[in-house]
Structure 1
């Protein structure tokens, strides 16, 4: 045969005769040059594959090569099978089937059957419920896979299907093979055999020690196990629990004990690692375990009651549930362990003297070994000093608690404390230091494999807030989204993460998204009934959104409900032991100032801001001082007094420039842009003003008649030079771009400055933009 051809042998795994294998091996050794041999098989054939591989004569397409990508799955499901699914539905099915083509075809058949009888109404529900026990999948796997296996393999598959991960000795323990003391087990050999015959098993490491079953295959096996041997299931889980305990994999040991409904064993194991689990911030996992236990069993274990109460508090669960567990613990010798938690409750509720008293009592009574609780008590004392304005001592104490907690493996407190210090640095206007501290917190908030623990969400949300201020909105959104996702595992997302996300969405012009995030923040604030600060913070942000969108009536109602108008005439008084509500008041009054400007009550605005300025300065709050100066400038601008507006604007710029503040200016909108143009013209921080102007969205140009203040219009060549100046090109670069001499460029630049009435490049660009000659950056 002179032409190239291919011989295809399908279902080769059905061949059992050695004579055929030997004949095929001979053919491979003497293969004609124009021939290709293609073998489709479920298992590696007994042929000299290693030799062929070494010679480069073998091309292998394995399970991972044959799985569909998400795009390929979308094309198959929508174009070929005609299902017209949304992208998130396709992604869910691809994940569920792991790209298995036959599985996708069978799920398509099942969905077509549902759509023909029930319509498209509950496609999402079908996908969510779809498992390996679906009849199409079940029939295929049983008929094509399971029934072809020897009974010993079927038994192994069914009994080990309770495991999410498989390794040889674990499988031996679960299957009870061999009986204890009767030689080595067969688990590892069986796993390797299953991999060789490609029986829906996936290796998890390069050493082939750990495996898992394909998700749909595991569903099938578990379904069959429940149907055929339901009484064996608790025994299998109990054996798995014992193996994991001996391997010091306690989370898995607890999970299998709970699945076995051996609640005494599960409670015993949970108590052993309760403190460690909380120190790693795995609150959701811990609460999931304890919630599964019978309530009487938990109540009889005081230590477990204390740790459950801590987890409930830190995860923001309802106060009633926390109090119930605290009362259970108080009836035992664990009463001293309750004091730090009571202190934290008092702190959340703004009862500072009580928080301090309880924290000190805890430190007096707790043993030195109670590091988890002692660190919490010390942290509470430091926070109380911080809220009283004692920044030096409180910062030193916080730093000490962070280092001690980190050394003791108490990741949760260590990272919480670092985040407290970072927030303090932000209030002090030291944004770059705050970023470094958050980065340190992220390094600490990782497990042994470098994966982020749930508490890392707090640091990521903090970084998101910083990058929002620096106007890196893409990075901010990334940090906030990831931070919220991790914080949900912690169980304590809180309203603040969603408020920060709402700010970013607002900055990107996504007002619907901003309101969606705000509503989510409001839901969380209502659920977190331990403190009112979240409710107040959400309402404050809503008021800012209303003002920004021109809904002044809604903002006015908020101001009246909060009784803010009284502070226009009666200045806010500082209190050393102020309530949380009082501490938030100055931030509310800054929003009130914006409302007063919008209402054109400008004298009242200036009086209010004048009373707030010394408070912010005494409390060392540069960010707030910048905000106050900026609002003063806006009030003077609204009065038509641009000369007076420049003084507070210049102070705001001088404070903000070293730390790179951006959004604090841009969020105030076009009026601030107009002030910045004027500042640049007058030589007030021209470079920084230019960078800020570049962050504003395109602004409407001023009316054409305002350009009349120019001495004479710019020529076409002068406009060309001006545009290149605005792009940041040097005189030499402009000369090269326009094919003129350097002297000519300088001459044109001098004409531009004269016509615009300015003295330098930055002022020229700012003036041209303010007149509408150049578009806004």
Structure 2
């Protein structure tokens, strides 16, 4: 049974029971040697004293604290001997030296340990204060000679300079490090509650993020929060600039460093991450990498960001404190340091950091030009979200003073789906093109690209086509235009044209342009552009079967995964198409998985034209399962989203037809007729509307009129698309059956099976509630027995998916850091952008995502989000019908 030991970390009346940490130390001391290595203020001493003070223990605990800057090995070992002889009183190494010969003292220590019958644990705390090389050599031999009943715990701010490799190989060493001592978010909340501090969940999470679980930081924050009139505001403003935090870091960290290390720390605090080269540049002296490595090894609030230990960052509170101290002592140097950092990052292609430091140095014009020069590239690389991050460095309205920013703002607004704001910014950018230098031709290319994307996203399909014609003419005239620039614009043009042709039903033209665009993107090394083209090729046509279209969609997804683009909204059409094809083929569960993934990657930024597809497919899924009210909501959402487009979507007739059909099936024929009356289909695309009219006739009890409505569809030459035709045959069969003509009903059902078999179109049978009709067909010969059996099985087995949910995992299964990363997975942020939001390295994000996949049993991002929603770790939804 765990012992109830309270761990005092608050410095006030707040107590936190950290039984798991005490149990970790229990397990550790079963080894010969335990090393506890962590930064100052991590709670090492508090943990050891709580553990040593357990009255129920059956072992003898000897506690020695090394006095500050202890350089005398004789005093050190004499203190150890005195502590073993008087274990009831904690002893410091300041005790008088009673034996001049150190070896004799050590022999006496070993003899005293052997004489004890019960187990003995010798704790040496603050070992970093020991400055004697000889003492560490003696300590190494002492541990090697330790009797079997004795254990040693060494607690220090840095790993002790003794050789541990043989003990490690023998499994005789246990190590407890900063990560083990760090407070979790749950423990932070518990500490606040125990201290009587009323703070919101978000406030507690923010405090944990700022302190990074550092015990001393939490303790000082709790002291300040106790009785504070505005705790939420205090947490929002809490940083390393807090006086108590600053005094602690000054005394326990900065002042302990040599002068050259202090200089390096102060001047590198302006960057969020650094390597040796950048640190040398900022500190104006070589050797910074060695200093950073030494600081990391000394647990001095410095952490490496990569396995090679070449990139480093400071603890957030330390960085805050150092920046304040730099401004206090060397304010005149700050602008130049920012300029140096900006040049360094710009030379290495890190535009985000370069811009941040340019703005900090007051060099807004150059920062604006740098953003404008790279915004088009970010869009082409699928990193439009980066633009939003960069623009945060500028004050609101800066684009009016710096027109170069207008282009970047337009791309950022468009990426967020705010078309009106994007149009306004784009107009501002265009107004400055005539005065742009000839060398800034890329700006005009970017404007043209964004203008196309804006028109496409707004559903202005005819405008896209007109602009493409003008661009073709201008590109033909621009013989001096750089090849790469022309190729990029050509690829963007083919993409936009192909997407518009897809959504307007000109699939043969779309096939040609999207294929050309994908091939061009591959040649010029633009994988995002290639994926975007491929993602819109997963739709069946006269030359592409349902099976082939489905495979194309899967290949587009595989291509995106190879390039790390599987979490981008541009992939939503491919995911939606694959899901839709699965539903057409009666694989409803499979279709639902693909649709969930499509909504996840689309998030709030899915384009309206794509949202039309996803809403329609979602309605199909509900209708196929017999969930008519849910289907009505989805079809209504599809119609509402279609109305946002100024051009007609190719799916508009089908949306209107199925919306009216569902209204009729729910006993609302008047609403159904009104829905059809409001829609005028284009010539040659009235099949879905006629099917809906037939449904209404059947609901009204007029099968003969239904047959009359359907006659033109079934007899059309050349025939209409198989989807509409299968549905028409099934509706005709039902009309014949209700008229008492079973032979004609069977013939219609046979015709439906014949049309459906090449693509295995099972969904129309569920949509038209064809079970009674197929019962008639069983008494006749059919050439499609296998398909008939599959359809009948599907109609019998269709049921609503279970709402059962497994309980969420225990709190220790997902760490707070993993949960923070998990909350970003449903968004359209890339891993790099998540890392930027959380102020960690992409390596850290990748590690957390791998752990999340393993713990959630998921193979990709979408599956992880889906599983997390099942476990109530994220909001659980197939996006609402009103999403667009």
Distance in 2 separating the partners of 1:17 and 1:297: 63
Deviation at 1:48, TM superposition (A): 1.8
Q: 1:430 aligns with which of 527, 532, 545?
A: 545
TM value normalised by structure 1: 0.67
Distance in 2 separating the partners of 1:660 and 1:74: 57
Specify the alignment match of 2:683 in structure 1.
Answer: 574
Distance in 2 separating the partners of 1:104 and 1:514: 51
Q: Deviations over 1:67-88 (max 9, x none)?
A: 5778x75996799889999999
SS of equivalent residue, structure 2 residue 167? helix
* Kept in 2: contact 1:415–1:456 (CA 8 A): yes
Structure-2 change in CA distance of 1:349 and 1:254 (3 Å): closer
Distance in 2 separating the partners of 1:562 and 1:290: 47
SS of equivalent residue, structure 1 residue 198? coil
Map 1:501-520; keep pairs closer than 5 Å.
502-503=618-619, 506=622
Structure-2 change in CA distance of 1:87 and 1:539 (3 Å): farther
Q: 1:266 aligns with which of 336, 357, 367?
A: 367
- The range that moved more, 472-481 or 21-30, is 472-481
- Are 2:136 and 1:21 equivalent residues in the alignment? yes
Q: Deviations over 1:64-122 (max 9, x none)?
A: 4555778x7599679988999999999888777666677778888899978xx79xxxx
Specify the alignment match of 1:240 in structure 2.
Answer: 341
- Are 2:526 and 1:410 equivalent residues in the alignment? yes
Q: Deviations over 1:146-168 (max 9, x none)?
A: 46643755654454444343322
Structure-2 change in CA distance of 1:547 and 1:522 (3 Å): closer
Deviation at 1:189, TM superposition (A): 1.6
Distance in 2 separating the partners of 1:695 and 1:46: 69
* Kept in 1: contact 2:619–2:632 (CA 8 A): no
Specify the alignment match of 1:758 in structure 2.
Answer: none
Distance in 2 separating the partners of 1:219 and 1:545: 63
Specify the alignment match of 1:7 in structure 2.
Answer: 122
Deviation at 1:23, TM superposition (A): 3.8
- Are 2:777 and 1:689 equivalent residues in the alignment? no
Specify the alignment match of 2:70 in structure 1.
Answer: none
Distance in 2 separating the partners of 1:623 and 1:353: 27
Structure-2 change in CA distance of 1:56 and 1:411 (3 Å): same
Specify the alignment match of 2:516 in structure 1.
Answer: 400
Q: 2:275 aligns with which of 163, 167, 172?
A: 167
* Kept in 2: contact 1:445–1:455 (CA 8 A): no
* Kept in 2: contact 1:473–1:504 (CA 8 A): no
TM value normalised by structure 2: 0.60
Q: Deviations over 1:534-580 (max 9, x none)?
A: 99799859947973993738xx5475266248x7xxxx5516xxxxx
- The range that moved more, 480-489 or 621-630, is 480-489
Q: 2:674 aligns with which of 560, 583, 597?
A: 560
SS of equivalent residue, structure 1 residue 45? coil
- The range that moved more, 529-538 or 328-337, is 529-538
Specify the alignment match of 1:499 in structure 2.
Answer: 615
Distance in 2 separating the partners of 1:422 and 1:497: 12
Map 1:248-287; keep pairs closer than 5 Å.
248-286=349-387
* Kept in 2: contact 1:596–1:604 (CA 8 A): yes
* Kept in 2: contact 1:243–1:253 (CA 8 A): yes
Specify the alignment match of 1:377 in structure 2.
Answer: 493
Specify the alignment match of 2:28 in structure 1.
Answer: none
Gap runs ≥5 in structure 1: 179-184, 576-582, 700-777
Deviation at 1:688, TM superposition (A): 1.4
Q: Deviations over 1:632-677 (max 9, x none)?
A: 4555566676654444444444444554545554456xx3455556
Q: Deviations over 1:588-633 (max 9, x none)?
A: 6655655555555655544444445567x85863333334444445
Specify the alignment match of 2:838 in structure 1.
Answer: none
Gap runs ≥5 in structure 2: 1-115, 435-440, 802-884
- Are 2:648 and 1:547 equivalent residues in the alignment? no
* Kept in 2: contact 1:237–1:259 (CA 8 A): yes
Structure-2 change in CA distance of 1:462 and 1:390 (3 Å): closer
Distance in 2 separating the partners of 1:158 and 1:198: 17
Structure-2 change in CA distance of 1:529 and 1:360 (3 Å): closer
Distance in 1 separating the partners of 2:616 and 2:317: 40
Q: Deviations over 1:261-281 (max 9, x none)?
A: 522222232243233212112
Map 1:357-756; keep pairs closer than 5 Å.
357-366=466-475, 367=478, 369=483, 370-379=486-495, 392=508, 394-424=510-540, 430-445=545-560, 455-469=570-584, 479-487=594-602, 492=607, 495-496=611-612, 499=615, 502-503=618-619, 506=622, 543=659, 547=663, 550=666, 552=668, 556-557=670-671, 560=674, 563-564=677-678, 574=683, 597-598=698-699, 600=701, 602-612=703-713, 618=718, 621-633=721-733, 644-666=744-766, 671-675=769-773, 684=785, 685-693=787-795, 695-697=797-799
Structure-2 change in CA distance of 1:144 and 1:522 (3 Å): farther
SS of equivalent residue, structure 1 residue 295? helix
* Kept in 2: contact 1:679–1:689 (CA 8 A): no
SS of equivalent residue, structure 1 residue 417? helix
SS of equivalent residue, structure 2 residue 357? helix
Distance in 1 separating the partners of 2:157 and 2:126: 7
Distance in 2 separating the partners of 1:172 and 1:305: 36
- The range that moved more, 16-25 or 128-137, is 128-137
Deviation at 1:388, TM superposition (A): 8.3
SS of equivalent residue, structure 1 residue 372? helix
Map 1:82-481; keep pairs closer than 5 Å.
129=236, 132=239, 138=245, 142=249, 146=253, 149-150=256-257, 152=259, 153=261, 156-173=264-281, 175-178=282-285, 185-214=286-315, 234-286=335-387, 289=390, 292=394, 294-296=398-400, 298-299=402-403, 301=404, 316-319=417-420, 321-322=422-423, 325-326=426-427, 328-329=429-430, 332-333=433-434, 337=445, 355-366=464-475, 367=478, 369=483, 370-379=486-495, 392=508, 394-424=510-540, 430-445=545-560, 455-469=570-584, 479-481=594-596
Deviation at 1:435, TM superposition (A): 3.3
Deviation at 1:32, TM superposition (A): 1.0
Distance in 2 separating the partners of 1:679 and 1:265: 76
- The range that moved more, 592-601 or 34-43, is 592-601
Specify the alignment match of 1:751 in structure 2.
Answer: none
* Kept in 1: contact 2:762–2:791 (CA 8 A): no
**Count of residues paired in the alignment:** 661
SS of equivalent residue, structure 1 residue 377? helix
Greater relative contact order structure (CA < 8 Å, 6+ sep): 2
